[in-house]
């Protein structure tokens, strides 16, 4: 059993293969405190870490010092009002207006398996791989019941945490903060890692020493966002890629979030994660409950690499649905022709795809309503028969004759002011009464908190999907939420609108994957603006960034792989010069940089040179042969262009350690340099591995200690793929 309770010590214990998490009950009232999280230890008697003997820790014996106790006790789930002044996970406003809450243990349950979280994406697992612990805490004054949920897996070093809050009383209560998890650590020498960016520069890694006070990443844009990411890591200053202690927290959620760490007066660190309290409020009528989204927590003593591999395994095995689905190579029409296409042009692209061996044509934006540019028709999900006579059905059938599948782009959460939908139902767009909503990319956000809005849009899109042989859907979302307001809610519940929007989105995606189990769903949000574990529950891959330029992509994919498996990243060979940064890179390199993700082309093959076009079959072959090692294997980052300024290198080893693939890119050449030696990682030490190009055979240890010599080439943007196979 990965979870147990020791009644003598009054300690809860959660074990994963290589980590232990301990919590303890304190005093006759039953405060729940955090004791330990780190590499596995056999002991339960670790309560000394609560420092209960030290002043001013005397909760029962010295009631006049209760305030000092509250100020430094490591609460497992801190609540606002009683004297814990750090970030509260829970704030509750009583009918009188007062905000205070005190949580005390009242019981617990431990059982095999993991229950789903209603309406929310979450990790899953049966009794053979995980246990769940529910600790029930109560605030007797409010008649509030707070259930802390923990799941520990026996096959991966990740814990899942979430919280359910129920009003057991007779009067309504308002939650004004309901974060999902808090983590306590001793704070000597820790670095904080967060991800920052913008459109086309999603997820740049930021690592800095944790300073006193609060430091955070957050989103108030209604989406997890390009700008910040629902993730944080805390690691020792000395932690490197494969060494040192490292904690990671990521959020299974796609809307407003707060990811924050605070170094406090006692050099302790509190890290919290959850729905951002700004703009959030949730009314709990008597008997009602609120379920907070899930946080995934990991700890590794094998540096950042260990943290990443644990997240990858958890996501691939226990969260992403459709992970096993075939990921077809695809040709996307967006950079190939933007809005400028008709049936013949698409069929022409389909022919090119067929000739090159690409499996799927994706008709991106522009096939519906009267959409010839971005000013119109979102919300009118019916085929533009002027552009596509015979509709998607005819196109799909003709493509099928060529042996090419059909995929389409949709943006279901939006409406153009110039659309039939908006003219008929202006009240379906999100707007605050009496105030004109803000336009972005010429569009408004639909009020997905209303069921009739969700149904109308979903049914239109489902009709299209039923009307033609469509095997892939790219679900896009191209603007942040503003003017957040729900026409379905009374004034006192408007603080629920942003979260109810996300719940509405999840409901629509759940319907799609349930009604169309054979369709491959790829999420997108102006590129990677909603690349998070929440969306991965519905789509096994997400378009990583609108910036598909290979050198910028190396950064984006490196940072993305800190948390997410390579199998989740849509990665395409795009036009050159790049439409996002103007850079000119070799076709071969663009292929190599896309190979580890879900591969495709974002260009018109008819506009390539003969020499470039001739490389496509080889690229597809490489993807088929070696892509699975990257997508399903263990990931090791060997070097970071971000740090060294010259080259990027990473590798993956198949789970059975029978094969490994190394991706090396010389981003900038340097004068008068000799070859670069890169020791490999993750191989079986005593097994023999043959390098497929040279035929060179060495032991796993030989490759890991000796490494590979990558020649100094007199060119920028030069990529090499090295493959090892066990002899």
Question: In the complex with ligand GLA, which residue's Cβ is closer, 82 or 528?
Answer: 528
- Please identify which of the residues 131, 364, 418, 476 carries the catalytic annotation: 476
Strand order in the sheet with 3-6: 3-6, 11-16, 19-26, 31-39
Nearest to 539 by CA among 525, 522, 514, 563: 522
Q: Return the DSSP state at 445.
A: E
Tell me the backbone φ, ψ of residue 550, rounded to 5 degrees. Answer: -60, -40
- Residue 6, helix vs strand vs coil: strand
Burial-class residue 1 by CB neighbours within 10 Å (0-12, 13-18, 19+). exposed
* C-alpha 505, offset from chain centre: 16
Q: Could you tell me the smallest distance in angstroms from the CB atom of residue 376 to ligand GLA?
A: 12
3-state secondary structure 166-209: EECCCCCEEEEEEEEEEEEEECCCEEEEEEECCCCCCCEEEEEE
Question: In the complex with ligand GLA, which residue's Cβ is closer, 526 or 654?
Answer: 526
Question: In the complex with ligand GLA, which residue's Cβ is closer, 182 or 526?
Answer: 526
Q: Could you tell me the smallest distance in angstroms from the CB atom of residue 525 to ligand GLA?
A: 7
- Please identify which of the residues 44, 131, 174, 546 carries the catalytic annotation: 546
- Residue 422, helix vs strand vs coil: helix
Q: Could you tell me the smallest distance in angstroms from the CB atom of residue 441 to ligand GLA?
A: 8
* C-alpha 623, offset from chain centre: 24
Nearest to 661 by CA among 629, 704, 697, 705: 629
Told to judge if 546 belongs to the known catalytic residues of this protein, a careful annotator would answer: yes
What residue is closest to ligand GLA based on CB? 365
Question: In the complex with ligand GLA, which residue's Cβ is closer, 366 or 633?
Answer: 366
Residues interacting with ligand GLA, by CB under 6 A? 334, 364-365, 409, 476, 478, 524, 526-527, 543, 546
DSSP 265-278: TTSEEEEEEES-ST
Question: In the complex with ligand GLA, which residue's Cβ is closer, 442 or 467?
Answer: 442
Question: In the complex with ligand GLA, which residue's Cβ is closer, 103 or 410?
Answer: 410
CA torsion, ordered 391, 392, 396, 397, to nearest 10 deg: -30
Question: In the complex with ligand GLA, which residue's Cβ is closer, 524 or 708?
Answer: 524
Question: In the complex with ligand GLA, which residue's Cβ is closer, 473 or 659?
Answer: 473
Question: In the complex with ligand GLA, which residue's Cβ is closer, 328 or 700?
Answer: 328
Q: Could you tell me the smallest distance in angstroms from the CB atom of residue 365 to ligand GLA?
A: 4
Q: Could you tell me the smallest distance in angstroms from the CB atom of residue 559 to ligand GLA?
A: 18
Q: Could you tell me the smallest distance in angstroms from the CB atom of residue 453 to ligand GLA?
A: 21
DSSP 364-398: -S-SBTT-SSTTB-TT--SB-TTTSTTHHHHHHHH
Question: In the complex with ligand GLA, which residue's Cβ is closer, 179 or 445?
Answer: 445
Question: In the complex with ligand GLA, which residue's Cβ is closer, 174 or 364?
Answer: 364
Q: Could you tell me the smallest distance in angstroms from the CB atom of residue 352 to ligand GLA?
A: 19
Nearest to 541 by CA among 473, 453, 460, 627: 473
Q: Which two tokens stand for residue 590?
A: 């663009």
Nearest to 716 by CA among 614, 611, 645: 645
Tell me the backbone φ, ψ of residue 56, rounded to 5 degrees. Answer: -100, 40
Burial-class residue 265 by CB neighbours within 10 Å (0-12, 13-18, 19+). exposed
Which positions ≥6 away from 550 have C-beta within 8 Å? 585, 589, 590, 592, 593, 594, 665, 717, 719
Q: Could you tell me the smallest distance in angstroms from the CB atom of residue 581 to ligand GLA?
A: 15
Q: Could you tell me the smallest distance in angstroms from the CB atom of residue 410 to ligand GLA?
A: 10
Q: Which two tokens stand for residue 137?
A: 């805490």
Question: Is residue 356 within 8 Å of residue 605, measured between CB atoms?
Answer: yes
b/e string for 29-63 if b means 16 or more Cβ within 10 A? eebbbbbbbbeeeeebebbeebebeeeebbbeeee
Q: Locate tokens 């509250």: which residue?
A: 70
Q: Could you tell me the smallest distance in angstroms from the CB atom of residue 681 to ligand GLA?
A: 34
What is d(CA 235, CA 220) in angstroms, rounded to the nearest whole number? Answer: 26
What is d(CA 36, CA 545) in angstroms, rounded to the nearest whole number? Answer: 38
Q: Could you tell me the smallest distance in angstroms from the CB atom of residue 334 to ligand GLA?
A: 5
What is d(CA 122, CA 320) in angstroms, rounded to the nearest whole number? Answer: 9
* C-alpha 290, offset from chain centre: 23
Told to judge if 648 belongs to the known catalytic residues of this protein, a careful annotator would answer: no
Question: In the complex with ligand GLA, which residue's Cβ is closer, 248 or 527?
Answer: 527
What is the end-to-end Cα distance of the chain in Å, rounded? Answer: 38
Q: 256: number of CA atoms within 13 Å, CB side?
A: 23
- Give the chain's count of helices (H) and strands (E): 15, 38
Q: Could you tell me the smallest distance in angstroms from the CB atom of residue 122 to ligand GLA?
A: 27
Catalytic annotation, residues: 476, 546
């Amino acid at each position: 059993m990965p979870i147990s309770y020791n009644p003598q010590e009054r300690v809860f214990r959660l074990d994963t293969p290589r980590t232990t998490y301990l919590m303890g009950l304190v005093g006759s009232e039953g405060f729940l405190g955090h004791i330990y999280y780190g590499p596995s230890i056999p002991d339960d008697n670790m309560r000394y870490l609560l420092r209960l003997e030290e002043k001013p820790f005397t909760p029962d014996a010295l009631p006049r010092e209760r305030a000092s106790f509250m100020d430094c006790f490591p609460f497992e789930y801190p609540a606002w009002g009683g004297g814990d002044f750090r970030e509260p996970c829970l704030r509750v406003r009583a009918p009188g207006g007062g905000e205070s809450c005190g949580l005390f243990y009242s019981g617990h349950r431990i059982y095999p398996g993991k229950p789903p979280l209603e309406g929310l994406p979450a990790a899953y697992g049966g009794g053979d791989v995980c246990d769940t612990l529910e600790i029930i805490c109560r605030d007797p004054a409010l008649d509030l019941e707070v259930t802390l949920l923990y799941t520990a897996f026996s096959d991966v070093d990740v814990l899942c945490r979430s919280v359910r809050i129920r009003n057991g009383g007779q009067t309504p209560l308002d939650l004004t903060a309901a974060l999902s998890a808090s983590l306590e650590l001793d704070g000597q020498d820790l670095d904080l890692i967060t991800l920052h960016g913008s459109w086309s520069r999603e997820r740049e890694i930021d690592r800095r020493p944790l300073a006193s006070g609060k430091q955070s990443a957050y989103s108030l844009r209604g989406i997890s966002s390009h700008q910040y990411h629902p993730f944080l890591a805390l690691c020792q200053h000395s932690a490197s890629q494969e060494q040192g202690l490292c904690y990671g927290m990521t959020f299974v959620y796609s809307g407003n979030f707060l990811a924050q760490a605070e170094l406090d007066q006692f050099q302790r660190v509190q890290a919290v994660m959850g729905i951002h309290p700004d703009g959030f409020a949730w009314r709990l009528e008597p008997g009602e409950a609120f379920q907070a989204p899930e946080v995934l927590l990991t700890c590794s003593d094998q540096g950042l690499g260990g943290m990443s591999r644990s997240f990858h395994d958890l996501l691939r095995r226990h969260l992403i649905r459709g992970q096993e689905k075939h990921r077809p190579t695809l040709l996307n029409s967006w950079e190939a022709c933007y809005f400028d296409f008709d049936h013949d042009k698409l069929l022409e692209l389909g022919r090119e795809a067929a000739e090159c061996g690409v499996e799927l044509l994706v008709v991106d934006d522009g096939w519906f309503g009267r959409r010839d540019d971005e000013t119109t028709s979102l919300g009118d999900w019916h085929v533009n028969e002027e552009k596509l006579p015979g509709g998607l059905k005819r196109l799909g059938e003709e493509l099928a004759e060529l042996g090419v599948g059909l995929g389409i782009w949709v943006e279901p959460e939006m409406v153009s002011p110039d659309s039939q939908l908006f003219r008929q139902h202006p009240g379906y767009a999100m707007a605050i009464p009496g105030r004109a909503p803000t336009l972005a990319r010429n569009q408004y956000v639909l009020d997905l908190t209303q069921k009739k809005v969700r149904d109308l849009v979903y049914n239109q899109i489902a009709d299209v999907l039923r009307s033609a042989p469509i095997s892939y859907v790219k679900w896009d979302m191209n603007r942040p939420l503003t003017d957040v307001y729900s026409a379905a809610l009374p004034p006192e519940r408007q603080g629920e609108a942003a979260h109810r929007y996300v719940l509405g989105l999840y409901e629509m995606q759940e319907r799609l994957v349930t009604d169309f189990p054979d369709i491959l769903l790829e999420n997108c949000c102006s590129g990677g603006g909603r690349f998070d574990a929440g969306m991965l529950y519905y789509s096994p891959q997400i378009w990583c960034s609108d910036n598909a330029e290979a050198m910028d992509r190396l950064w984006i994919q490196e940072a993305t792989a800190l948390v997410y498996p390579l199998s989740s990243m849509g990665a395409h060979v795009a036009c050159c010069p790049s439409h996002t940064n103007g850079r000119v890179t070799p076709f071969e390199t663009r292929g190599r940089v896309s190979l580890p993700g879900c591969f495709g082309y974002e260009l018109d093959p008819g506009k390539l040179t003969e020499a470039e076009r001739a490389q496509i079959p080889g690229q597809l072959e490489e993807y088929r042969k070696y892509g699975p090692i990257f997508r399903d294997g263990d990931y090791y980052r060997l070097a970071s262009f971000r740090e060294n300024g010259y080259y990027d290198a990473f590798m993956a080893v198949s789970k059975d350690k029978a094969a490994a693939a190394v991706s090396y890119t010389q981003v900038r050449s340097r004068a008068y340099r000799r070859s670069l030696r890169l020791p490999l990682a993750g191989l079986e030490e005593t097994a023999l591995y043959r390098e497929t190009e040279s035929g060179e055979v060495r032991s796993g240890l030989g490759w890991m200690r000796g490494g590979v010599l990558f020649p100094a080439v007199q060119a920028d943007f030069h990529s090499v793929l090295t493959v090892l196979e066990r002899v």
